[in-house]
């Protein structure tokens, strides 16, 4: 399997294109701000998050 290296500039250019497409969709009324936030979110709306090891989490946070 061939692995392709992607440059930082390529990633930035892709982000710019995505943001421009988002802006066009908002201006045309095809989507709402909330819909874009849901689409672009790393964590889906309504997801339930929990810290499995609270003691370890607190210890790690205090160590920083």
> How far apart, in Å, are the Cα atoms of 29 and each of 6, 11, 32, 55?
33, 27, 7, 47
The pLDDT score that the predictor gives to residue 61 is: 82
pLDDT for residue 64 is more than 80: no
First to last CA, the chain: 40
pLDDT of residue 19: 94
Annotated domain spans of the chain? 8-63
Q: What would the pLDDT profile of 1-60 be if each residue is shown by its tens digit? A: 888 899 999 999 999 999 999 999 999 999 999 999 888 888 877 888 777 788 888 888
pTM, two decimal places: 0.60
């Amino acid at each position: 399997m061939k692995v392709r290296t992607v440059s930082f500039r390529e990633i930035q250019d892709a982000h710019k294109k995505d943001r421009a497409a988002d802006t066009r969709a908002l201006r045309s009324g095809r989507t709402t701000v909330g819909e874009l936030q849901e689409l672009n979110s790393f964590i889906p709306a309504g997801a339930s998050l929990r810290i499995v090891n609270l003691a370890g989490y607190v210890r790690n946070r205090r160590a920083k």
